[in-house]
Amino acid sequence: MNTHISSKKQILQVLMLFVVPLVLFLTGYNFYTMRAMNERVAESNRSAVYLYESSLEKDLQDIDLFLANLVVGDTNFQRLHSEMEPVEAHLCAKQIVDRYQELISTKQIIGGMFLFTEPNGLYREIYGGAYSYSLKEQMLTYFEQLTQSGSIDRSRWQVLSLDGQAFLYRVLGTNGVYSICAVDLDMLLAPQDSTDPSSGVLLYTGPDGTLLTSVEWAQGANIQIQYTDDAFYLTGAGKYLAVQDYSDVAGVWFVYLTPYQNLFHQMDFLLLFLMSAVLLILLLVCCYILKGLFLKPMDHLVQTMNAIKSGDLDAKMETNYRVMEFQQMSDTFNGMMEEIKSLKISAYEKELELQQAQLQYLQIQIRPHFFLNCLKNLYALAQEQQYDRIQRMILALSDYLRYLFSNNMTFVPLQDELRSVKRYLLLEQMSASCPPVCEIDADERLLDFQIPPMSILTFVENSVKHASLPGEALSIYIKVMELKTEDAQYINISISDNGSGFPPETLEKLNRAEKIEYTGQHVGILNVKHRFALLYQGKSIFSFSNLKKGSRIELFIPEEGGNDDRSCSR
């Protein structure tokens, strides 16, 4: 016999033995170590960024001072504002280019310097780097168009990217004479220039976040620049630690990336392997215990509930569990399902008994309705002393009532119902001064179709009673045919007349798909609707409408038949 143990005690033992100490130790140690290490690395990197940023800003400020002195205090630059002889203009420009050359020799970050003088139609250029002819043409064209556009921002350094090459440029000058300096960002001192690539990578991005340098490397390493207030963040799939700062002087971001060294980067491989193996074994043992004691019973419970949800009320939980609570749950659940099955069967039987009682009551209710109408007609003939017609009518009535009262079936063949309609109309024709006429058009293939008794007769009797017009013969037309839709097949029974039609309030009431309430009017019609609702479970459809002259009633009966053991198919 298996011993049962408490699940609470078992969970506590497992957590105390494996999970709690391991998780607490690793979480605390990792958090402290990684946080401290990252903060130290980030602080060191911020110092490096500050050095590179200060160096660039110092060079840019020196270049700003040179350009300002050139524009304001250089005589040759001032003379170029006026139109000169070509030789004089050339000499002045040469003097300025010589000064450019002196600056480039001291500031090796300068990629090129340009002089444009619109009054003399002259430009000069000098480059500090070995650029392709195409790139030089692009730079010259860009700056020439810039000076001619008139929309020049002289207040700050700006970013320019041409053919994969990034520059910072500054424009000073007025009245069509401009001096431009372009600083090549690839010429700036960066840690990746050293022989040790692990020292880090310095990237430059524009104010809008566009990468300006080392673009291909950054894309290959999946570097994602984040503009946050955090002191540092990880990027490149967690392989790089990034710190960054924005230079107001240069108008660019300095992003310094260093390889991210996690907690185990200096740990011996064998030791790391052994630790991983021990953790894996502990994890497997823990999973095996949890699966046998908790997960497997839970799976059985879920599978059983899904089976019950799908309609299998015979599904039961297993009864052989080591955990006491699961054993109690299994016994309680199985007992509850047995009780539910018993209650459901009992409720279903009571529902069938109630529906059968309602049908019997409705059929008993509708039979005296026809019978009393016939007696009223006989009484009227007796008053007129038409004894011969009374005799014929009694014989016809006896045949009609024999069918009516001898039939206790829930369903009858369509041909029997149509035959009862003809007998009823024969009785009406024998007693009425202006007898009704009826035409029946029924598909012969449908004559054996099963329908509730007196379903057509009730509507015919209603037309004779309420739709007849004084001095005009009532004409009734009955049509039975088969209708096919995408979802189901229906038998359509249409009963129309040329009478007075339905009053609007009566028509609205009859077409409402609401619970049927008997108010003393149109009892026969409401009776038929109620019986159809019970027999066909709401799948039958009634339609009441007025024609230009007369009314029409349409029944749509599902071809699969009603909900009764005594109904039969065609």
Q: Select from 556, 490, 549 the least CA-distant residue to 529.
A: 556
Strand partners for 490: 483, 558
Q: Would you kindly state where each structural domain of the chain is located, as residue ranges? A: 269-337, 348-558
Q: What is the pTM of this model?
A: 0.45
Q: Select from 435, 521, 507 the least CA-distant residue to 476.
A: 435
- The token pair at 332 is 């309680």
Give me the DSSP letters along 261-288. --TTTTS-HHHHHHHHHHHHHHHHHHHH
- The pLDDT value given to residue 336: 82
201-214 burial: b if 16+ Cβ within 10 Å, else e: bbbbbbeeeebbbb
Say how far apart CA 530 and CA 528 lie, in whole Å: 5
Q: Select from 9, 307, 11 the least CA-distant residue to 299.
A: 307
**At 255, which helix (H) or strand (E)?**
strand 252-259
For 364, 456, 480, 551, the CA distances from 555, given in Å and listed in that order, are 22, 9, 10, 14
Give me the DSSP letters along 511-546. H--S-----SSSHHHHHHHHHHHHHTTT--EEEEEE
- The pLDDT value given to residue 492: 94
For 26, 138, 141, 167, the CA distances from 162, given in Å and listed in that order, are 50, 7, 11, 8
Contacts of 233 (CB under 8 A, 6+ apart): 226, 241, 242
Strand partners for 127: 112
Q: Select from 44, 450, 484 the least CA-distant residue to 232.
A: 44
Strand partners for 543: 554
- The token pair at 551 is 């009314």
- The pLDDT value given to residue 187: 86
- Note the CATH number of domain 348-558: 3.30.565.10
Q: Provide the total of helices (H) and of strands (E) in the chain, helices listed first.
A: 14, 16
- The pLDDT value given to residue 21: 77
437-442/450-451 β-pairing: unpaired
- The pLDDT value given to residue 568: 35
Contacts of 555 (CB under 8 A, 6+ apart): 455, 491, 492, 493, 494, 532, 540, 541, 542
Say how far apart CA 107 and CA 101 lie, in whole Å: 10
Contacts of 431 (CB under 8 A, 6+ apart): 377, 378, 380, 381, 389, 393
- The pLDDT value given to residue 381: 73
- The pLDDT value given to residue 2: 61
- The pLDDT value given to residue 267: 55
Amino acid at site 394 = I
* 417 CB neighbour count, 10 Å cutoff: 24
Sheet with 233-235: strands ordered across: 201-205, 252-259, 240-247, 233-235
Say how far apart CA 558 and CA 535 lie, in whole Å: 11
Report the C-alpha dihedral over residues 136, 139, 144, 147, rounded to 10 degrees: -150
For 11, 298, 322, 328, the CA distances from 292, given in Å and listed in that order, are 12, 10, 9, 17
Q: How far is CA 382 from the centre of its chain?
A: 77
Say how far apart CA 411 and CA 452 lie, in whole Å: 4
What beta strand segments (E) does 192-239 contain?
201-205, 233-235
Strand partners for 204: 254
DSSP secondary-structure letter at 503?
A: -
How big is the CA angle at 290 (ends 284 and 294), to the nearest 5 degrees? 155
412-413/252-259 β-pairing: unpaired
One pLDDT digit (tens) per residue for the chain, 570 residues? 566 665 556 666 766 777 777 777 777 777 777 777 778 888 888 888 899 899 999 999 999 999 999 999 899 999 999 988 999 999 999 999 999 999 999 998 999 999 999 999 899 999 988 899 999 999 999 999 998 887 888 889 999 999 888 999 999 998 889 999 999 988 887 776 554 545 688 899 988 888 888 888 888 888 888 887 788 888 888 788 889 899 999 999 999 998 887 655 555 566 767 877 887 888 788 777 777 766 677 777 777 878 777 777 677 777 777 777 777 777 787 778 778 777 777 776 666 556 555 555 545 554 565 567 667 777 877 888 878 878 887 887 787 767 666 555 678 899 988 988 888 888 778 766 788 899 999 999 999 999 988 889 889 988 888 877 877 888 999 999 999 888 889 999 999 999 888 888 888 888 886 554 544 456 678 878 888 888 888 889 999 999 988 999 999 999 876 655 434 333
Say how far apart CA 450 and CA 113 lie, in whole Å: 103
